[in-house]
Amino acid sequence: MDLDLRKLRYFVAVADTLHFGRAAEELHIAQPVLSRQIRALEQDLGTPLLTRDSHGVALTEAGRQLLADAGLLLASARAVRRRGGAAARGSRRLMVGFRAGIAVTAAVELFATRHPDVIVDVQRIEGDDQAPMLLDGRIDVGFVRLPIDEAGLRVTPLYTEPRVAVLPVGHRLAGKERITEADLAGEPLVWDADTSTQPTRRPHPNAGYLVRGVDETLEHVAAGRGISFLARSATVFYSHPNVSYVPVPELAPDQVCLAVAASRASPVVDDFCTAAQATAEITAECGNYEMWQLGRGVIPQGD
C-alpha cells in the first residue's frame, strides 16, 4: 500500500487543529470531503487515527505516531519537487543556509575551485528555520548551531565558539574584561524563541520576551529588558551602541555544525561539505575568519 501524500496532508491539518471545520477552511475544501479523505486514510492504514465524539476530536496512539512521522515525509516530498523543478530548468545551483555570525565565504570559495559551474546562493536562517528548511529542500546545506532537531538530518560538528554575555551599556558589569556566571545570578534572560535550554548552570528568570534572531535580541537587551548570551562571533558581525559584550569563560561553548537532509544524495553537496570541513579546520587554527583572510593576504597586515 502506497501512502497517499494528499491524504497525509489533510490528516496533518486536522491533527494540528483537532477540528474538521477549521482544517477544511485551511485546506480550502468542503468539510464532508475532508472527512471522507480521513476515513479513506484510516482504511488504507487499517487503524483509526482520530476519535470523534461530543467532546471533540482527539488523536489515537496510531494518529500521534503518524503525526510524528508525517513532517519528515511531507518535507521530503516538497524537497523532491523542488529538486526536480531545478533539474528540469537545467539549474546548477546550491543553496547554503547559515546562522548569524557564521562566515561561509571560505567554504564557498574553496568549493568554487572544484565546481566553477555551480552557482552558490547563501541565505541567513534562524534557529527555528534550521531543520524545516533542510528537510523541505529550501536549502541544500546548513551551517547550524545546536540545539537542532536531528531527525531526518546528517549533522556533523565543525567547531565551537566561546559565548559572551550581552548586557545593556548601563549595566553594572558592562565593559568588564570578563565575568562569571555567579556575577549574573538572578538576572532576567531574554529567551530566543527556538531555544529550550539556557547555556548557564545557574537558572535565570524569563524576561518575558521571546525573540527571533540576533537583531531582536540586541534591541531587547539595549532597552534594558534583560540580558542574553551569544556566540563570540556576534561581537564581530553585530554591533549596537547601547549593548556591551562581555566574555564569560566558564559558559559551555556554542557548537557550530554542518547539516544536510539524510535523504539528500548528491556528489555536489558532498563536495561542499568537504570544503566546509576543510575551511573549518583552517578557521579553528587561525582563531577566526578574519585571521584566515589575513593569512591569505586578502586583509593587509599592519606595519
Give the strand pairing for 206-211 and 254-261: unpaired
DSSP letters spanning 124-193:
E--GGGHHHHHHTTS-SEEEEES----TTEEEEEEEEE-EEEEEETTSTTTT-S---TGGGTT--EEEET
3-state secondary structure 196-230: CCCCCCCCCCEEEEEECCHHHHHHHHHCCCCEEEE
CATH match of 163-252 with 3.40.190.10: yes
Question: Would you place residue 298 in the very low, low, confident or very high pLDDT band (cuts 50, 70, 90)?
Answer: very low
Q: Which CATH class is domain 92-160+255-295?
A: alpha beta
Cell triple for 83: 529538486
In this model, does residue 74 exceed pLDDT 80? no
At 77, which amino acid appears?
A: A
Q: What is the pLDDT of residues 242-293, one digit of tens each?
A: 999 999 999 999 999 999 999 888 899 999 999 999 998 765 544 454 443 4
- Fold: same for 92-160+255-295 and 163-252: yes
Q: How far is CA 123 from CA 66, 101, 129, 160, 195, in A?
A: 32, 12, 11, 21, 21
3-state secondary structure 23-81: HHHHHCCCHHHHHHHHHHHHHHHCCCCEEEECCEEEECHHHHHHHHHHHHHHHHHHHHH
- What's the start-to-end Cα distance of the chain, in Å? 72
Q: What is the pLDDT of residues 81-91, one digit of tens each?
A: 766 665 555 55
Task: Give phi and psi for 98, each to the nearest 5.
Answer: -150, 145
Q: What is the mean pLDDT of the chain?
A: 85
Q: What is the pLDDT of residues 162-175, one digit of tens each?
A: 999 999 999 999 99
Residue with cell 547550524: 144
Q: At what angle do helices 267-286 and 105-114 cross, to 10 degrees?
A: 130
Looking at 1.10.10.10, 1.10.10.1590, 3.50.50.60, 3.40.50.410, the CATH number of the domain 5-80 comes to: 1.10.10.10
Task: Give phi and psi for 235, each to the nearest 5.
Answer: -70, -20
Residue ranges of domains in the chain: 5-80, 92-160+255-295, 163-252
User: What mean pLDDT do residues 53-66 have?
Assistant: 88
**CB neighbourhood size of 140 (10 A):** 25
